[in-house]
Amino acid sequence: MMRLRWDDDQTSIVVLLGILAMSSLGFAIFSLVFGPELQVELEPRPQVVVQIARPEMPALDQSAEFWEESGFIVLSRDQEYALQKSAGPDRGVWIQGRETLVLVPQRYDLKLASSVLQMSASFLEAGWMIQLEATDHGYTIAFWSRVPGWDHRVLSYLWDIELLNPENYGHHYGGFISVMGQFFDPAGFRRGTPQAPVLSLIIDDWGYDTAAADPMIAYPFPLTMAVLPHLAVSREVGERIQRAGHEVLLHQPMEALDSSLDLGPGGIILGMDRIAVEAQLKENAASLPMAVGMNNHMGSSVTADYDTMRHVLEVVKELGLFFVDSRTTTSSVVADVAGQVGIPYGVNNFFIDNESDVDKIKAQLRSGLALAQRQGHAVLIGHVRPTTVIALWEMIPELLDSGVQFVPISCLLYED
């Protein structure tokens, strides 16, 4: 019979065997080491037999055709199943299914409710007992069905139908952004495309009453909207934009190269001293409290002037905002001054709608997608105009196929 010396080596062996003893392999090794004299008594465990019932579930695999005919793109379908224990007299266990269906509307005036009601009517006609409830971003249809041998119905399937929108976009389509909730530094992190490239689209000139407002606010991808201060609907539209989940900027009027151009209320012009700049910017910011940053409206003269921009950016820092340079002039000093003042800043790559032609705007958007795919990120600026919003809605399938994610401008800032 093999004997083991009781020394440090054996102590290590026993500790190891103690760990392995939780498995059948551990018991086998104990037998080999200590021999047949070692008897291990295990109490027999009672055998529990559980019958799992599978209630009837709806056939939803063919629903994609219905949604596409209704004007929606099926972005994703996620299914999961769980065991549920009956509280009734049967005391059985059944399988409950759940599916999350994410849809992207292809027109801003599509109403999910009408399609869901039409779909629900077809289930009722087929003999299903259903329960319909509204959710934050869509509807849930609950299906109740009988289990063979049981005398009551069970909740067999839950169908969550959600519309993609700026609030849930990051969950259902995005989620690949490396730095969530932090400033993204394009200069220090050129990601290429190992992860999804990102694009920020800023829409300027909000504050006027325009027919383009409703379809732009309803856009399902996250946009950044720049609102002019003190106009007829500035505050109202800023609140609507925020409620829809888009990001809001203060679109700050600044003197252009042509000083005769009307800036509108709240403008900054060359020659204003620090006190005047501070008073004007604080008044403008107070009128749009939902704004998280600022960009320039016109401003070719101001953004090229070091002293005035230093006044502006010092106040921007005091207000806790960031600044986006629209790059209306190649002589801009914004980047240099922002680095010295110490505030996050963004830089526009190019405008998409200098020409109000739908096809040309689409061409510019494609150029923006290509830039994002090349360098990992891009910043574009458009305007709240009918042709721009038409181009954006018509390009939804193409934008989804590109693999480029839309992000608020706050995700694409330099921070020197």
pLDDT, tens only, 101-118: 999 999 999 999 999 999
Tens of pLDDT, residues 270-281:
989 999 999 999
Which has more pLDDT, 199 or 146?
199
- Say if residue 187 is in the same domain as residue 151: no
* Residue 189 burial (10 A CB sphere; 0-12, 13-18, 19+): exposed
| 81 and 147 co-located in one domain | yes
Q: pLDDT tens digits for 287-298? A: 999 999 999 999
Last residue of a domain, one of 129, 163, 197: 163
Task: Name residues whose C-beta falls within 8 Å of residue 2's C-beta, 6 or more positions apart in sequence.
Answer: 35
Asked whether residue 155 falls in the same domain as residue 212, the answer is no
pTM for this predicted structure: 0.82
Find the mean pLDDT for residues 396-415: 94
Least confident of 189-203, 217-231, 308-322, 387-401: 189-203
Instruction: With a cut of 90, say whether residue 94 has pLDDT above it.
Output: no
Angle at which helices 8-20 and 24-34 cross, to 10°: 150
Residue count of the chain: 416
Average pLDDT over residues 259-283: 96
| Nearest alpha-carbon partner for 385 in 358, 347, 362 | 358
CA distances 230 to 24, 266, 274, Å, are 77, 7, 21
Q: Determine the pLDDT at residue 175.
A: 52
| Percent of the chain whose pLDDT exceeds 70 | 81
Same domain, residue pair 151 and 238: no
Same domain flag for 201 and 309: yes
Q: Which residues have a Cβ under 8 Å from the Cβ of 360 and sit 6 or more positions away?
A: none
Q: How far apart are CA 226 and CA 222, in angstroms?
A: 13
The domain that holds 245 is classified in CATH as 3.20.20.370
In this structure, are 359 and 215 located in the same domain? yes
Residue 23 pLDDT more than 90?
Answer: no
Residue 46 binned pLDDT confidence (cut-offs 50, 70, 90)? low
Query: Which pLDDT score, from 0 to 100, does residue 220 have?
Result: 98
pLDDT at 85: 85
Residue type, 81: Y
Please, what's the largest Cα pairwise distance for the chain? Answer: 107
Tokens representing residue 411 in the block = 């995700």
Domain span at residue 32 reads 1-42
d(CA 20, CA 301): 77
CATH number of the domain residue 106 falls in = 3.30.460
Mean pLDDT value across the chain: 86
Q: How confident is the model at residue 148 (pLDDT cuts 50, 70, 90)?
A: confident
276 is a domain residue: yes
Task: Report the phi/psi class of residue 112: left, alpha or beta, with left for phi > 0 and alpha for psi in -120 to 50.
Answer: alpha
Residue 172 lies in a domain: no
Question: For residues 392 and 398, what is the distance between their CA atoms, to the nearest angstrom?
Answer: 10
If residue 119 lies in a helix (H) or strand (E), which one and from where to where?
Answer: helix 112-125
Residue type at position 102: V
Regarding whether 331 and 241 lie in a shared domain, the answer is yes
Residue with the bigger pLDDT between 166 and 195: it is 166
Whether 309 and 366 share a structural domain = yes
Are 98 and 227 found together in one domain?
A: no
Q: Which pLDDT belongs to residue 89?
A: 63
Check pLDDT > 90 for residue 92.
no
Question: Do 154 and 193 sit in the same domain of this protein?
Answer: no
Query: Which spans in 209-346 are helix H?
Result: 213-217, 234-244, 274-287, 306-318, 334-341
Question: Do 306 and 229 share a domain, yes or no?
Answer: yes
Q: How many CA atoms lie within 13 A of 221 on its CB side?
A: 28
Domain co-membership, 207 together with 342: yes
